[in-house]
Structure 1
C-alpha cells in the first residue's frame, strides 16, 4: 500500500531536504541524521515549541502568522536550493502553502501519514494522500503492479505501550500551548483545543464502565434474531480525511445522510451498527446524537450506537459496511465484507467497493472481488 518512495537527485548530487511538522516522535530527526550521515543536507522549520521538542538538530523558527508564511517559506526555498520537502500530512494550512511553493521550484514532495495501515506502518507517498495520491484506481493496473512486488511482511513489530504514545502527544501539545508567547502567530490545524480533548478523554475514562454496559446491551439486542446488520464506523471530525477528502463538513453530516438513506431504503428488519472511533475524545455525545438522528428517521429500533467491541468480528458477520473513507475499509475488504465508500479513498476501486448509489447498497450489497478469501489482518481500529 505504501508508495516505495526513495529520495533521488539528478546525477546523484547531494540532496537538501526541508522537514516541516512531523509526528510527536523523533522519527523525522532520525531520518535527517541518516541523510546527513550519507552526505546530504537537512533543514527544519519549527512552527512552535512542540516541533522543537522532537528536533535536536539545527533548525529555523518561524514566529509569524499564516499570512506571512508563503513569503517566508518561498525565500527559504530560494536561498537553500531545497530538493525535497518532507512532512506529515499534506493538508495542514502551513503544509499546503509549502507544498505549492516547493513544487513550483521543482522540489519533490514526500508526505508521510499515520493510519493508512495499522499497526506498525508509516506510509510515504509522493505529492499527497487520498485525493492527491498516486495510487491507481484501475483494477487492471493494480493487479499488474501487485505481481511486481513480494507479499508484505505483516509481522507486528510495534510494541510501544499506549501510555507512552499518549505522553509524547501530551508533551507535544502542552509545549505548543505554553510556547504561544514565543510563537505568537501560530494557529493549530486541529478543530479542538488539546486541553479540551484531554478533558474529554478523562471523562470517557470515568464513564467507561457505563459505556461498556450500554454497548453490551446494544450488542445483545443486535444478536437477537437473524436480521442482516450493516456497520457504519465513525471517523474524527478533526481529521483531514473528513475535512478535505469528503463531501461532508463533519461526521454528523455524514451520519444524517447515511442513516437517512438506511431508513428510506433498507428493508426491515435490517439493522445499522454505528461504531464510535476508538480515539474519539468524547466532545460530541455520539450516542445521543445518533439516537436523535435515528428517531427523526423513524428507525430508532433498528440503529444502534456502540463505543466498544471487536470491529474485525463485526465486519466478518456484517451484511455490509458503509463509511466515509476510514481505513476500516481495508479491513472490510480483507474479510470479504461488502463495502460502500462515501468519500475519497484509495480503496474505492470498482470490484473492491460498491460503485452504485448508497440507496441501492442496502438492498443487495455485493461482496468485493475474491471476497471471503481472507488475507492476514494488518490492523484496524478496535
Structure 2
C-alpha cells in the first residue's frame, strides 16, 4: 500500500477528488493545508494544517513523512518555495515525487511527471523507434475551451475569496506569487474587465492579425506569464520584457526586410502586465514599428499554421509549433529543445534559416511524451474517468498504462475506419 502526502494543487477541487479516489483503491493520502484557499471542502478528514513558518517547514515535513510512513508526495508546480524544499527532503528520503502541471500537449492534457517538470523532470527522449507502436494523432479537445475557462475562473475566484475572508489562522504563509492573495483576487476581477474591453478595443488588431497571417511573411512570439517559474528558473531572463527586448533588437538587425513580427500576450497575464507602450517605443526607435504587432486573443492555431517561425522562451507552445511543422527557437531551457526538433543556432541566424524540424522525430517525441507524462483531461472541468486515470498513473504500473494506450489507439483507428 502506498501512502501519499499531497501539497498544494491547482486552484480547483482536483486534489481532493484524487485523494478520495486513491483511498477507494486501498491506499492512504493526506493533504497539507497552507492557507484557506487550499480547503476546497468545508471539512475533510484528509486535511492536515500547516501554520508554522517557512523556515520551520523542512523539519516539519520530514517529521510528518517519517511519522506517517509516507512513500509518495504529490504537488502542483515544482518551483514554489514550499515545494522546492519539500522535494529536496523527499529526494534525501528516497520518496517517489509526483509533480502535476498544465499539459505539455495542449489544450487536451495535463502533466504528471516524476521528480519535476520541464527542465527539472525525469523525461528523457530516446530515439530508437520504440514509440512507433503507439503512434497516433493528439486527440482533439473533448471539453470546449470556454467551458474550461469558466470553471477555472470560477474556482480561482472562490480560492481567493476564501483567502480574503479567512486568512488569520495562516498568518505565516508565504505565497509563491508576487502579489499577496487578497491583491490576486482583485487582479482576477481586473482581468475580467480588461477581457471584456479588449473585445471592443482589439478588433482592429485582430483584423490586422488575420490579414498578416494570410499575406505576410511573419514570425510569431507567444509571451509567457510575467511570473512564470519557467522564466525565472529555466532561463537567463530577469523578466518577460527582457526577452521581448532581445527579440526586437535581433529582428530589426537580422530579419528579412519584408518580414513582420507578431507578439501574442498570454491570456492568463491580462490582469498583471501590459507591454504595448514599451513595444511601441522600442519598435519606433528601431525603425520597425510598422512591422510589429502586439495584441490579445490572437488565434494560436491560425498563427502556427501560417508563421515562418516561432521564437519563445520555453513555453509549451513550442511543442504545438513543432506539430505544425514550424521552426522553433527556444531561448530558455525546455525538454523539447533538442537537435532535430528545434533550431540550435543563435537567434541572429534564426530569421533567415531554412531549418525544418524532423517530422519523424517530432512524432516520436510527442508520442513518448504523451505515454510517459500526459493524461487526457483538465483540472477544472472533469469527470470521474479523468480522476481514475490520474490515480492509476500514480498507483499503477507502466506496462498496464502502455497496454491501455495501445487499446485506445486500436479502438480509435477502428472507429475512423
Shorter-normalised TM range: 0.7 to 0.9
Shift of 1:241: 1.5
- Paired with 1:82 and 1:307, the residues of 2 have a C-alpha distance of 45
1:169 to 120, 138, 156: 156
The 8 Å contact of residues 232 and 274 in structure 1, kept in 2 or not, is answered as yes
Aligned-residue CA RMSD (Å): 2.5
Deviation of residue 135 (structure 1)? Answer: 2.0
1:157 has 2:142 as partner: yes
Q: How many pairs were matched up?
A: 360
Q: How far apart in 2 are the matches of 1:26 and 1:219?
A: 38
> What residue in structure 2 maps to residue 279 of structure 1?
268
1:205-239 Cα offsets, whole Å, 9 max, x none, are 34223432241353267369x54210001110111
Partner secondary structure for residue 147 of structure 1 = helix
Matched, 1:209 2:199: yes
Cα distance between partner residues in 2 of 1:218 and 1:155: 28
| Unaligned 5+ runs, structure 2 | 368-375, 378-417
CA distance in 2 between partners of 1:202 and 1:58 (Å): 34
- Residue 88 of structure 2 is aligned with which of 89, 94, 100? 100
* CA distances 1:233-284 after superposition (whole Å, capped 9, x unpaired): 1110111111212211221011011111111111202111111112222432
Show the counterpart of 2:372.
Answer: none
1:303 corresponding residue in structure 2: 292
- 1:184-210: per-residue Cα shift (whole Å, max 9, x none)? 011211123313422431331342234
Q: Give the Cα separation in 1 of the matches to 2:107 and 2:161.
A: 26
Aligned to 1:3: none
Structure 1: gaps of 5 or more residues: 1-13
Q: Is the 8 A contact 1:234 1:277 kept in 2?
A: yes
**1:153 & 1:370 partners in 2: Cα distance?**
15
If the length of structure 1 is used for normalisation, what is the TM-score?
Answer: 0.87
Matched-pair contact (CA < 8 Å) for 2:219–2:311: yes
Moved more, 187-196 or 326-335: 187-196
> 2:24, 2:279 → 1: CA distance?
53
Matched, 1:270 2:259: yes
In the alignment, which residue of structure 2 is the partner of 1:68?
Answer: 56
Question: Equivalent of 2:18, from 9, 26, 31?
Answer: 31
C-alpha spacing 1:35/1:220, structure 2 compared with 1 (3 Å): closer
The structure with more helix, counted as a fraction of residues: 2
Residue 197 of structure 1 corresponds to 187
Aligned to 1:20: 7
The aligned residue for residue 69 of structure 2 is: 81
Asked if the contact 1:278–1:308 (Cα under 8 Å) also holds between the matched residues in 2, the reply is: yes
Give the whole-Å Cα distance in 1 for the aligned partners of 2:280 and 2:225: 19
Give yes or no for contact 1:319–1:365 (8 Å, CA) kept in 2.
no
Give the TM-score of the pair, scaled to structure 2: 0.80
Moved more, 243-252 or 348-357: 243-252
Contact 2:213/2:306, CA 8 A, preserved across alignment: no
SS of equivalent to 1:279: helix
Q: 1:125 Cα deviation (Å)?
A: 0.4
Matches of residues 226-375 of structure 1 in structure 2 within 5 Å?
227-370=216-359
Shift of 1:161: 4.5
Q: Structure 1 residues 158, 143: closer, same or farther in 2, change over 3 A?
A: farther
1:364 aligned counterpart, secondary structure = coil
Higher-RCO chain (CA-CA 8 Å, sequence separation at least 6): 2
- The answer to whether the Cα contact below 8 Å between 1:231 and 1:274 also exists between their aligned partners in 2 is yes
Provide the C-alpha distance between the structure 1 equivalents of 2:2 and 2:163, rounded to a whole number of angstroms: 30
CA–CA distance in 2 between the matches of 1:216 and 1:36? 49
Indicate the SS of the match to 2:202.
Answer: helix
> Quick one: distance in 2 between partners of 1:321 and 1:143?
27
* Aligned residue among 111, 115, 119 for 2:107: 119
3-state SS of 1:157 partner = coil
